[in-house]
Amino acid sequence: MQQKITILKFIKTTFLFTLFVFFSAQLSAQIKIDGVAVVIGKNIVLDSDIEKFKQEIEVRSEGKIQISDCEMLEELMQQKLLAHHAVIDSVTVSDEEISSRVERSVAYFTEQFGSVDKVIKAYGFNDLDDLKKELFTVQSENALIEKEQLKITEKIDVTPEEVRLYYVGLKDAGELPEFSAEIELAQLVIKAKPSEAEKERIVTKLKEIKKEIEEGSSIKMKAIINSDDPGVVSNGGKYEVTKDSPFIKEFKEMAFSLDVGQISEPFESDFGYHIMQLHEIRGNMRVATHILMQPNVPESLLLETKNKAEKVANEIKLGEISFEEAVQKYSDDEDTKNDDGLLINPYTGETTWDLTRMDPALYARVAELQKGDLTDVYFDENKSGEKMYKFIIMRDRTNTHTADLVNDYVKVQELALTKKKEEAVTKWAKEKIKDTYIKLSKDHRKCKFTKNWKKETGK
């Protein structure tokens, strides 16, 4: 049962299911000959889907989870059953919600591959619109699955006694889980801030470009020549923008404030300074081109910033100032300054980090630190192009250990709740299978399932 809960966690609570469906759906379009493993309502699972998803789970779990083809098929059938009955139950998802998911998916893939062009090439799409169209279909089904499952489980909770009994059951069976080493980190950031004269130079240059465009120059050509946006080579600085797009606030606000054909005055964001021209309004979407210019940061300023960061770190090591006091006094990072520099794990939204599932670069810096230790001062540059020096403190550290009911109560509670919800979904599925059209291929009818997918009498 513990392995089953873990598998479900991989499928339902991570981006993995989206990745899998997206990946397999596109490749299935390319591979024209592929067996249909099962039909559930109007939904199908291909033979290739089973193998791809099984491999994905084994890779993501680092080989800790091994699953048979039949077990994988049953998990996929349950997802398709949820999607089928979400439609029957009139579960709705808005285009705005799906569009937002699509934009986040594109941003995720772009981060993984380095550019949207590489994503398009890797999956064999014609262009960005083709990619988004496929993702829209994928995310629509995912949203239906999530909402149908939430509908089934939304009122389910666990009491402290249920948590205790769940823990005792695992302990008696010798199945208490191992929790990986977890750490809590905080950072102090000192940015290399460009001079006011450099900022004025950039604004003046953008005003000159704006005037030239108004006099007939092509904003696309001006963007290709002048823009510091890395995407300009492939798109000429042109973007489709909705209010749910993962663009910065200033970018979206400007796109929705302009009239068609109008060019903005220079405006500032975390990325630098922009001008923007609106080309088209399509319902809730704006089509606009921008030119981004980032102020130059000379080597002398970088050295000055590094020396300042090293001086602050040394003061902390000597006990002249606490880390928290130093953050309040010196840190330039607005996202963490008000929380004493505390870093939030972007994958979980929590303050703790699983030491075995970290960005390799960050892992290399903090893996050997003990509670209270500082990293060396190091250079960093964020996606906005801001240059900075920073150092990190190990605020807390818990090493790999067997689950303890007192110290790990919240985690054990989550496992108990997951188990209870899965039992509810299983009960729901067993009832829905009875009145759902299901056709298994001959080969897969040989599988032994936990639910009566084959609709055999007497079961």
Burial of 345 (0-12, 13-18, 19+ CB in 10 A): middle
- Nearest Cα neighbor of 438 from 82, 148, 91, 81 is 81
Q: What is the DSSP letter of 227?
A: -
Give how far Cα 422 sits from Cα of 126, 206, 277, 414, Å.
40, 57, 51, 12
Widest Cα–Cα separation across the chain: 83
Mean pLDDT of the chain: 88
Global pTM exceeds 0.95: no
Confidence of residue 30 (pLDDT cuts 50, 70, 90): very low
How far is the C-alpha of 403 from the C-alpha of 303, rounded, in Å?
47
Confidence check: pLDDT of 25 > 50: no
Q: Model confidence over 323-380: pLDDT tens digits? A: 999 999 999 998 899 999 999 988 778 899 988 788 888 999 999 999 999 999 999 9
**What structural domains and CATH numbers belong to the chain?**
2-178+404-446 (1.10.4030.10), 181-192+298-402 (3.10.50.40), 196-293 (3.10.50)
Q: What is the pLDDT of residues 125-148, one digit of tens each?
A: 888 888 888 889 889 999 999 999
pLDDT tens string 208-234? 999 999 999 999 999 999 999 988 888
Helix (H, G, I), strand (E, B) or coil at 449: coil
